[in-house]
Amino acid sequence: MSDPATDKPTVLIVGAGLGGLLLGALLEKQGVPYIIFERASTVKPLGSGMAVGPTLLPIFQQLGIYDEFLPLGKRIVYTPFYKESLEPYRPTDHIAIEEFTGYAQYLVARPKLYALILKQVPAHKIHFGKRVLNITEEDDKVTVHTNDNGMHVGDIVVGADGAYSAVRQRMYDRLKAKGELPKGDQEDLPFSCTCLVGQTKVLDEEKYPILKEPICVFPTVLGADKPFSWSVMSTAQGTLCWSVIHHLNEQTSKAAMEQRFRNNDNAEWGAYPAQMMCDETRNFPIPLGEGLSTLGDLYDLAQKDLISKVMLEEKVFKTWHSGRVVLMGDACHKLHPAGGHGAVTAMHDAITLANLIYSMPSTTAAQVTKVFEEYQEERHPAALVSFKNSQLMSKFMEKGIIGFIVLYLITHMPMWLWRLALAQTVKIRPQVGFIANIPLKGTVVPIISPSEQKARDLFERQRHEQQHTTVSI
């Protein structure tokens, strides 16, 4: 329940992914009481690489982790595309992003970024091995019931537990029973791709000289007569990450869905299907030079239990909150990774929620609802834009006329038009309003969100009052 001394809400966060952890780190800065519940008993360093740049780096500066982040990443300057024959297309140039924002873009191994954010949350505030069984609500409180017979009472529950969110399912069940759930939200998560992700062990730079490159090596290969595309990324740690996407048709999507339900209840299949996909794709060529000529060369240099096969679902839900329960990240918008927006969008959700929670004048049911409405009003349009951009970017990897047109535009776009497109991607560079702001850099002015402005106004007012009180004393 809320702290009576400060009337700050108690926040129960379900899911310790990047979005849930960042929200915890931001609430920690506010002094807001919170607990994070994670169904997994341990953190397994799964995943590939992800791009992190100006849309998140100002927040890292505010949290004091920017200097710690930089050595973890490798600067991205351009991304080359290849036919399966390894004949190159014109690469896409990202250097203008540094001019526009004053920040570079970096490729970071997802486990390294996760570990960095995890360090910002005190260990005793994360409860691993806690699966949410139910959520019950009264007007002035909400209770999370966990698999160890635990009952945890708070003012707000945040469902940050992924595409197959238990929090969303419980909330939707209640709304559906009352006839209040839109039809679109009752439909299964659609997906048109499966993906194999992983990372090699640390490699010898003398044996694999491409790792000596000071910038990130980031080639993407488009299959000629097969429904696959695959990318490789070099990291600052001397490893190579990969992502292999299988573009499914209607029949293979249905078969993949049936296989998933035979294995488990989330987006990851397990070791055997991952090995099957490794076997299927190991002879696919990669342009990395001697000793690294196929994907199989990477698979053989990896720890097998850290290779995973996942689904790439795509959906933006219409219902993001009800009562004292709110969703964020993949629980309310699952994006195709082609646009590189999934994790970033979840972390932007966390920033918006943290700003609005900071600005809450009370923890009444009416006030909680108002905050959630403002949150969805701000974030839903942004999620839809990211969703559409990600779908568009995914098209150039697919076969067919749309894929051909998108690929042609990407590889033949005049530089002036490409610069305009890049400038649009960096206009959303949020900051938290309750920490001293980071001076703006670059030539493209970011959009100031309503939640950021609201928190900033309160922060500045309180700081002014504190200074005035100090002078009076």
Q: Which residues of 353-366 are buried (b: 16+ CB within 10 A; e: fewer)?
A: bbbbbbbbeebebe
Instruction: Check whether residue 289 and residue 323 sit in a common domain.
Output: no
Residue 453 or 473, more confident: 453
Per-residue pLDDT at 157: 98
Q: Rounded mean pLDDT of 392-406?
A: 63
On the question of pLDDT at 268 being above 60, the answer is: no
Per-residue pLDDT at 43: 72
Instruction: Check whether residue 355 and residue 269 sit in a common domain.
Output: no
Instruction: Check whether residue 182 and residue 220 sit in a common domain.
Output: no
Q: Rounded mean pLDDT of 288-314?
A: 90
Q: Helix crossing, 365-395 with 401-412: angle to 10°?
A: 90
Per-residue pLDDT at 265: 45
On the question of pLDDT at 185 being above 60, the answer is: yes
Confidence band for 114, pLDDT divided at 50, 70 and 90: very high
On the question of pLDDT at 306 being above 90, the answer is: no
Instruction: Check whether residue 175 and residue 222 sit in a common domain.
Output: no
Q: In this structure, is the dihedral angle defined by the CA atoms of residues 114, 120, 123 and 129, taken in order, positive or negative?
A: negative
Q: In percent, how much of the chain has pLDDT > 70?
A: 87
Query: Which of these, 304, 248, 245, lies nearest to 274 by C-alpha position?
Result: 304
Per-residue pLDDT at 472: 58
Residue 470 lies in a domain: no
Element at 394 (helix H, strand E): helix 365-395
Instruction: Check whether residue 107 and residue 242 sit in a common domain.
Output: no
Instruction: Check whether residue 320 and residue 263 sit in a common domain.
Output: no
Per-residue pLDDT at 329: 94
Q: Could you report the per-residue pLDDT of 30-81, keeping only the tens digit for each? A: 999 999 999 988 776 667 888 999 999 999 999 999 999 999 999 999 889 8
Q: Which residues of 300-326 are buried (b: 16+ CB within 10 A; e: fewer)?
A: ebbeeebbbbbbbbbbbbebbbbbbbb
Q: In percent, how much of the chain has pLDDT > 90?
A: 65
Instruction: Check whether residue 208 and residue 263 sit in a common domain.
Output: yes
Domain end position, chosen among 294, 313, 332:
313
Instruction: Check whether residue 87 and residue 200 sit in a common domain.
Output: no
Q: Could you report the per-residue pLDDT of 280-293, keeping only the tens digit for each? A: 999 999 999 888 99
Q: Which residues contact 381 (CB under 8 A, 6 or more apart)?
A: none
Residue 468 lies in a domain: no
Residue 20 lies in a domain: yes
Residue 469 lies in a domain: no
Confidence band for 3, pLDDT divided at 50, 70 and 90: low
Structural domain of 244 = 191-313
Residue 471 lies in a domain: no
Domain end position, chosen among 313, 342, 367:
313
Give the Cα separation of 354 and 358 in Å (integer): 6
On the question of pLDDT at 398 being above 50, the answer is: yes
Residues in the chain: 473
User: Is residue 21 within 8 Å of 151, Cβ to Cβ?
Assistant: no
Instruction: Check whether residue 215 and residue 363 sit in a common domain.
Output: no
Instruction: Check whether residue 272 and residue 180 sit in a common domain.
Output: no
Q: Could you report the per-residue pLDDT of 418-467, keeping only the tens digit for each? A: 889 889 889 989 999 999 999 999 999 999 899 999 999 999 998 888 87
Q: In this structure, is the dihedral angle defined by the CA atoms of residues 45, 49, 53 and 55, taken in order, positive or negative?
A: negative
Domain end position, chosen among 291, 313, 335:
313
How far does the chain reach from its first CA to its final CA, in angstroms? 34
Whole-prediction pTM: 0.91
The mean pLDDT of the chain is 88
Instruction: Check whether residue 28 and residue 174 sit in a common domain.
Output: yes
Domain count, the chain: 2
